[in-house]
Amino acid sequence: QVQLVESGGDLVQSGGSLRLSCAASGNIFRIHSMSWYRQPPGKQRELVANINSLGPTYADSVQGRFTISRGESENIVYLQMNSLKPDDTGIYFCKAAIRTTAQVLGDYWGQGTQVTVSS
């Protein structure tokens, strides 16, 4: 069994910064990629950033403002969010593609953390 736990969500003023963290634990053989998604109020979940062995990629809406990185423990991923805008408001979810054995690969999600940016 694998668990992902996010933290760091908060209420922040426009132009401010936050850093989200996501820690994976459990029966982990290998982590292939880790991603951050967000779900704005009343909208569908969208990909914000992804990081794998080839490096990071970002949605156009956050390029240049957000940075995704892995921790010293590769079971941790961060999302540094700068120059926040009200449109960045939403529930932020961590997702990881994880092998629990050499043969079994699956996607796992965290429970989400709320980010609210006030104007």
In the structure, what pLDDT confidence band is assigned to residue 111 with cuts at 50, 70 and 90?
very high
Mean pLDDT of 78-100: 97
Token pair 């043969």: residue: 103
Would strands 46-52 and 113-118 be described as parallel, antiparallel, or unpaired? unpaired
From CA 119, how far away is CA 108, in angstroms rounded? 33
Distance of CA 11 to the CA centre of its chain: 17
Q: Residues of the chain with pLDDT > 90: what percent? A: 92
Is the pLDDT higher at 74 or at 58? 58
Cβ–Cβ under 8 Å, residues 96 and 31: yes
Mean pLDDT of 30-58: 97
What pLDDT sits at residue 102?
83
In the structure, what pLDDT confidence band is assigned to residue 20 with cuts at 50, 70 and 90?
very high
